Amino acid sequence: MEQSTDLKLADTGDGVVPVLRAVAEHFTEIRPTEVLERQSLAIAFGAGAYKVADRSMSGGSDKLAGAALVLAPEAPDGITRGEYALLVRRVLAESGHEWSDGDNDRAIPAIPRPRTEPTPKAPKGGRA
């Protein structure tokens, strides 16, 4: 049963979702088949929050990491890093922050260059 004091992703500000995504992405890409260690979990959340806070120690990354850890799923003993990433993605999906296919698309579209027409060649025989 949900309590009125339960933290929800929508109530914790914009920074928690990117931290959770960063952690899930990290565990998916870096040694996903290894067993998740507790210190790796704390370090990943701290590093993710640090990046979200524009790599600033005074940007509130400690509070952001703490809020993300509170909302993160519990890591059962023996779970792999990749399996934990799936649990984090499930939390994001259930809260309406689904991982769309376009998340890694360019944020700013490329500006098209002017089209270059082929240069006409002079006909053979010396006359143009």
**Residue 52 confidence (pLDDT):** 85
Domain boundaries, the chain: 9-98
**Residue 12 confidence (pLDDT):** 47
Residue closest to 85 by CA, chosen among 44, 43, 39: 44
**Residue 3 confidence (pLDDT):** 46
**Residue 111 confidence (pLDDT):** 65
Residue 9: strand, helix, or coil: helix
Residue 53 and residue 57: Cα distance in Å, rounded? 8
Collect the ranges in the chain with pLDDT lower than 50: 1-12
Question: In this prediction, what percent of the chain has a pLDDT beyond 90?
Answer: 34
pTM of the model: 0.64
Residue closest to 91 by CA, chosen among 32, 35, 26, 19: 19
Q: Residue ranges of the alpha helices (H) in the chain?
A: 16-29, 38-52, 61-71, 81-94
